[in-house]
Chains A and B, each alone.
Chain A
Amino acid sequence: MKSDHHLILRVIAKCLLPLITIYAFYVQFHGEVSAGGAFQAGIVLAVTVILYALIFGLAEAMRAVPPWFARGLAALGVLVYGGVGVWAMVQGGQYLEYQALFNEPPGGHDGQHAGIILVELGVLFAVAGAMVSIFYALAGRVAEIRDEDW
């Protein structure tokens, strides 16, 4: 803590960060029954990292959530989403046919539940990871020509 004229900002941000995270997961898991969903949840989750970087500095944020982790999260999200589709195929259904996930009889809905939750989880990962990666790429960009050289 080199200076503390941002003390209020720091304290407030520390209080807000967990709330924002919880809100992200609320939007995520409430997504199937009301407005909102994984895309918004992913953005909100990424906002926690961005806010952290704004208040505590980019280096601190990159130490907490390393760039390789953000990139891996985005890739993992796509894999989870597509993986559900492939899982349905392996179980003998069409691509992304949730009903086939557990080979249920027509009345069962477990496949539909599990399918949509997993797919939304994939979207959450992909969106959050991509947002954080984009933020890092923009914020971490070093000017190729220094301002004085113009």
Chain B
Amino acid sequence: MILETVLVSAPDWAVRHAAVLIVVVPMLLAPLLALSPSNRLAWVLTIAGTAAAFWFSLILLAIIQEVPGSAISYALGNWPPPIGIEFRIDALNAMILVLITGMGMLASIFAWPTLAAEFRGERLNLFLCAFLLCFAGLAGVAATGDAFNLFVFLEVSSLATYVLVAMGAGKDRRALPAAFDYLIMGTLGASFYVIGVGLIYAATGTLNMADIAAQLPALSGNRSVQAGLAFIIVGLGLKAAMWPLHQWLPNAYAFAPGFVAMFLSATATKVALYALIRWLFTIFQPELAFEAALLKWVLAPLAMAAMLICSVQAIFQSDVRRMLAYSSVAQVGYILLGISVGTAAGVSAGLLHLFNHSLMKGALFMAVAGICLAYQARTIRDFAGLGRSAPFTMAAFGIAGLSLIGVPLTAGFISKMQLGYALLDQGWWWAVAVLVFASFLAVFYIGRILQAVFFEPPLNPRKNNKEAPLLLLIPLWILALANIFYGIDASFPAGLAADGAAAALALGAPQ
């Protein structure tokens, strides 16, 4: 409905070039921001850039949904695809693009109050420039149809991310080692990815994803191809914080500026997971014997280990943001578990949880950023009694927290149900048991903080009532209401996820 209106009202040039403009607009705005004389102007341009990208993503989604199973191919420089670089949008990455650009837009709206307070107005334009580069890089990873081009965009976004994380050093010096860890681990991940692409290039002679996919069936026993996939999975696993490659994540999220933590938690690992799905299901086929073994004996155990171990670790954190970060690794486990089932239902459940997790973690980190801003609160003890002094902020936090646990009528419930059904279809009842137990652990870590917020007396009774700034409350409540809305009527995200899974597995898609 809304999508059709967007498509009808869009001018011709936007419809024709949306696939590339979604990356080009933020990427060209970034240097303009670096030259911008005023911080406020830079902020307005950032919102304009992310909003434009969101608009392009809706146009792409509308075009894709017109013809089920279709794909948009955009040849850069008009070089035809296997030779030139291709941007290829199908239902899978259209969904991811809507998610990234939407979260990027909400993040950039609330950037101003947090950054203005955390940095006292110095060089905000350069900070926002790095943010837009990160944003453009993530959009590029999701949009491109070229395996090496994906690496380039992954590096564009990662390099900008290291800078963004290190900017937390103004408040807490521990941001610097956190950024350095992330730099080392992220660079290792990127190197593994590029080694894998190199091995596959050596065997197939092409970098275009669709072309690799077409050549692989003839090479199914090839050692070089198998080693290539192994390298790619480790590389992307590092970027996606797949357990046990997640060590960089808790500190990076805990010490980055609040706005960066929110944006990264909602998008960065999601894009790496998207790339993983793309490699596992579109380029390689789960029918290949070694990949079926990989899914069942490597990814599924790692996913369940993440769900259990990191949920337990989250229970014992005293810093709220570290707790949320460990919970993020556990949630990546849920998504990977869905992927490792290897069926359309499993991938669809994984994608739906990816979408919902983005909504809930975005809201949680945004609320925490607001509380950090208004009360300088970091630990769970600092959060005591905030339900009374900041009711609007904490109510949204509570909703997102319940969604994270998977309480009925929230988005988290729907995706966990779907995940459970997908697992039962395969007879993986033991995985369902792990799923339920991990959700039970989430009750503990979220319950701990909700109890402090709503049932404990304030630490300092004379603390006056103070909410997070309005510019933060608006995007925060958009996310919180989305958590409830998509918990009651999940047809939009569930439809996106089902289409995305179908496109990933190339069911009925013209190949």
The residues of A with any CB-CB pair to B shorter than 8 Å are 71-72, 74-76, 78-79, 82-83, 85-86, 89, 93-100
Contact = CB atoms under 8 A, between A and B. Distances in A.
Nearest to A98: B77
Contact of A94 (B27, B34, B76): B76
Given A85-B24, A89-B17, A95-B17, A79 B78 contact: no
**Taking chain A's interface residues, is the majority helix, strand, or loop, or is none over half, making it mixed?**
helix
B30 A78 contact: yes
12 contacts: A76-B35, A78-B27, A78-B30, A79-B31, A82-B24, A82-B27, A85-B24, A89-B17, A95-B17, A95-B24, A97-B77, A97-B78
Q: Which of A78, A83, A94, A99 has the most CB of B within 10 A?
A: A94
B17 A76 contact: no
B24 A86 contact: yes
Contacts of A100: 78
A96 B76 contact: yes
A72 B28 CA distance: 14
B411 interface: no
Q: Which of A85, A96, A100 has the most CB of B within 10 A?
A: A96
Nearest to B19: A95
Interface residues of B, number: 16
A40 to B, nearest CB: 19
Contacts of A98: 77
Nearest to A72: B35
B74 interface: yes
B313 to A, nearest CB: 33
B203 interface: no
A76 B35 CA distance: 9
A100 B13 CA distance: 15
B409 interface: no
A112 B229 CA distance: 38
A90 to B, nearest CB: 9
B124 interface: no
Interface string B61-85: 0000000000000111110000000
Interface string B20-35: 1000100110111011
B31 A76 contact: yes
**Taking chain B's interface residues, is the majority helix, strand, or loop, or is none over half, making it mixed?**
helix
Contacts of A82: 24, 27-28
A74 B77 CA distance: 23
B34 A75 contact: yes
B77 A95 contact: yes
Q: Which of A76, A89, A93 has the most CB of B within 10 A?
A: A89
A94 B74 contact: yes
B13 A78 contact: no
B31 A75 contact: yes
A94 B75 contact: yes
B31 A94 contact: no
B31 A78 contact: yes
A82 B76 CA distance: 12
B20 A83 contact: no
A93 B20 CA distance: 13
A97 to B, nearest CB: 4
A89 B74 CA distance: 13
A72 to B, nearest CB: 6
B78 A94 contact: yes
Contacts of B31: 74-76, 78-79
A86 B21 CA distance: 9
A94 B79 CA distance: 9
Contacts of B32: 75, 79
A58 to B, nearest CB: 20
B28 A86 contact: yes
Given A75-B35, A95-B20, A89 B77 contact: no
A21 to B, nearest CB: 24
B171 to A, nearest CB: 16
A137 to B, nearest CB: 12
B263 to A, nearest CB: 22
A34 to B, nearest CB: 22
A60 B5 CA distance: 59
A72 B33 CA distance: 10
Given A94-B77, A96-B77, A97-B77, A89 B13 contact: yes
